[in-house]
């Protein structure tokens, strides 16, 4: 049987970027994934994910996305396909923003980095972005250097490229245990009876990561968040530039959304909050009647032109949440050759062009300029999410 330098477990955005980066460093790489690739239930299997530098006071994440946007534009050019759409990002505020809010902190940091975001009052919001109800928002901030990535197509495109470079892709192989000799990894076993000889493995299993590695269960959980696709009767109101990617007073409501999708013809709106804790195997990932009522109320108050339009698809997107909201990218402290790259916490895909290099560097045992905050760490049960955009009503 073939021996791999690295086995990557999971072919979501962490796994496919890690496999690609490791192969570009000339390693023999095998990529395992349960079911087909992309897996229909993976967080990255979606029509769109926001790409924004706005992270409030968090300059490191801002820098990561700034570099990632350069990478998104390079991927568009490399693949001859618009995987990333630079539609801009609009932060809407229900009330005049306090100078310590997520929106104002993001605005100030964009200016400090040399960008020129716009500060809009109610009249300017109504004129520029007619999808929003008159008077619904007191002020807003618009940054044109942002947008969205067609995430499911991104994974498929990167997977094809990785295979072209020589990554061996093994769909329908569900990692079940790690074989070790003297504390060193020697093979990965799958439920389907596969055994993959390897000196190193990178676990990119998303919500399943703490089930493969139970020692992570105190620090990670799986949470589900409602997503809605709605078919507008007035598509002109929701096309770029009339509607960019938007955050609707997000840290106080959780609501955010996208312009009319260029392929699917729908407006996607979702909620980035605490969500419902979900067992990824046993709980249904469905949008509830209460979710739908909250969504319709949001539309009636803020986007009335959509309020009676048909919802054509829903899903409950599963996050792999760390308790503090930071990624978990580090070598295992007790098993030599085993690395974890998970804990996306609902905000990883925007950084895809920067993720692979960080994961590969850490897996090799090297230092990476952004790796320190994502190291193996002990979190207390009362630890709370730190991402400023995330709605934290418990």
Kindly state whether residue 354 falls inside one of the protein's structural domains: no
Q: Which pLDDT does position 41 carry in this prediction?
A: 66
* Confidence band, pLDDT 50/70/90 cuts, at residue 45: confident
| Region label for 249, one of left (φ > 0), alpha (ψ between -120 and 50) or beta (otherwise) | left
Kindly state whether residue 4 falls inside one of the protein's structural domains: no
Q: Which two tokens stand for residue 127?
A: 């004129």
Kindly report the average pLDDT of the chain as a whole number.
95
* pLDDT, tens digit, 9 for 90 and up, residues 75-104: 999 999 999 999 999 999 998 767 779 999
CA distance 299 to 238: 13
Give the residue-averaged pLDDT of 353-362: 98
Q: Are 13 and 345 in contact (CB under 8 A)?
A: no
Give the residue-averaged pLDDT of 269-293: 94
Kindly state whether residue 229 falls inside one of the protein's structural domains: yes
In the chain, the percentage of residues whose pLDDT exceeds 70 is 98
Which residues have CB under 8 Å from 207's CB, separation 6+?
43, 222, 280, 318, 319, 320
Q: Which two tokens stand for residue 307?
A: 């309020």
Neighbours of 307 (CB within 10 A): 16
Burial 355-394 (b: 16+ CB within 10 A, else e): bbbbbbbbbeeeebebbeebeeeeeeeeeebbbbbbbeee
3-state helix, strand, coil in the chain (%, to 5): 30, 25, 40
Q: Which pLDDT does position 97 carry in this prediction?
A: 64
* pLDDT, tens digit, 9 for 90 and up, residues 183-238: 999 999 999 999 999 999 999 999 999 999 999 999 999 999 999 999 999 999 99
Give the residue-averaged pLDDT of 261-286: 94
Kindly state whether residue 295 falls inside one of the protein's structural domains: yes
Q: Which pLDDT does position 100 carry in this prediction?
A: 78
Q: Which domain holds residue 296?
A: 89-145+221-321
Which residues have CB under 8 Å from 322's CB, separation 6+?
219, 220, 328, 343, 345, 379
Kindly state whether residue 80 falls inside one of the protein's structural domains: no
We report the CATH number of the domain holding residue 242 as 3.30.9.10
Burial 13-49 (b: 16+ CB within 10 A, else e): bbbbbbbbbbbbeebbbbbbbbeebbbebbbbbbbbb
Residue 393 DSSP one-character state? -
* Confidence band, pLDDT 50/70/90 cuts, at residue 70: very high
* pLDDT, tens digit, 9 for 90 and up, residues 114-123: 999 999 999 9
Place of tokens 């568009």: 76
Q: Are 211 and 342 in contact (CB under 8 A)?
A: no
Q: State pTM to two decimals.
A: 0.96
Residue 336 DSSP one-character state? B
Q: Which pLDDT does position 394 carry in this prediction?
A: 60
Kindly state whether residue 329 falls inside one of the protein's structural domains: no
DSSP states along 351-382: GHHHHHHHHHHHHTT---TT-GGGSS----TT
Q: Are 25 and 8 in contact (CB under 8 A)?
A: no
| Position 275 pLDDT exceeds 90 | yes
Kindly state whether residue 51 falls inside one of the protein's structural domains: no
Of 32, 146, 26, 34, the C-alpha closest to 88 is 146
Kindly state whether residue 287 falls inside one of the protein's structural domains: yes
Q: Are 31 and 169 in contact (CB under 8 A)?
A: yes
Alpha carbon distances (Å) from 352 to 18, 24, 349 = 10, 16, 5
Q: How many domains does the chain have?
A: 1
| Position 42 pLDDT exceeds 80 | no
């Amino acid at each position: 049987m073939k021996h791999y330098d690295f086995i990557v477990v999971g072919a979501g955005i962490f796994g496919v970027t890690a496999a690609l980066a490791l192969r570009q460093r000339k390693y023999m790489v095998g990529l395992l994934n349960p079911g087909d690739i992309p897996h229909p239930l993976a967080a990255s299997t979606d029509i769109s994910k926001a790409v924004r530098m706005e992270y409030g006071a968090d300059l490191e994440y801002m820098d990561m996305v700034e570099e990632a946007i350069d990478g998104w534009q390079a991927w568009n050019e490399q693949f001859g396909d618009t995987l990333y759409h630079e539609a801009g990002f609009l932060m809407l505020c229900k009330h005049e923003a306090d100078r310590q809010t997520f929106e104002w902190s993001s605005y100030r940091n964009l200016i400090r980095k040399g960008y020129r975001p716009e500060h809009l009052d109610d009249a300017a919001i109504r004129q520029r972005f007619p999808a929003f109800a008159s008077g619904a928002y007191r002020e807003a901030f618009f940054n044109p250097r942002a947008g969205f990535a067609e995430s499911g197509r991104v994974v498929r495109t990167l997977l094809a490229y990785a295979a072209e470079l020589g990554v061996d892709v093994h769909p329908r192989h569900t990692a079940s245990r790690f074989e070790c000799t003297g504390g060193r990894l020697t093979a990965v076993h799958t439920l389907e009876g596969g055994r993959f000889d390897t000196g190193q493995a990178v676990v990119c299993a998303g919500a399943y990561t703490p089930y493969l590695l139970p020692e992570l269960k105190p620090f990670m959980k799986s949470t589900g968040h409602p997503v809605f696709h709605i078919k507008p009767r007035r598509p002109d109101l929701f096309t770029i530039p009339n509607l960019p990617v938007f955050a609707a007073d997000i840290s106080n409501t959780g609501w955010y959304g996208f312009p009319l999708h260029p392929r699917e013809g729908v407006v996607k709106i979702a909620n980035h909050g605490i969500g419902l804790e979900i067992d990824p195997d046993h709980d249904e990932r469905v949008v509830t009647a209460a979710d739908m009522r909250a969504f319709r109320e949001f539309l009636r108050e803020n986007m009335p032109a959509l309020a009676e339009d048909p919802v054509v698809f829903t899903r409950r997107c599963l996050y792999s949440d760390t308790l503090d909201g930071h990624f978990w990218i580090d070598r295992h402290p007790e098993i030599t050759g085993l690395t974890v790259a998970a804990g996306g916490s609902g905000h990883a895909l925007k950084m895809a062009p920067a993720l692979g290099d960080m994961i590969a560097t850490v897996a090799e045992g090297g230092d990476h300029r952004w790796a320190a905050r994502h190291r193996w760490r002990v979190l207390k049960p009362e630890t709370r999410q730190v991402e400023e955009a995330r709605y934290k009503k418990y």
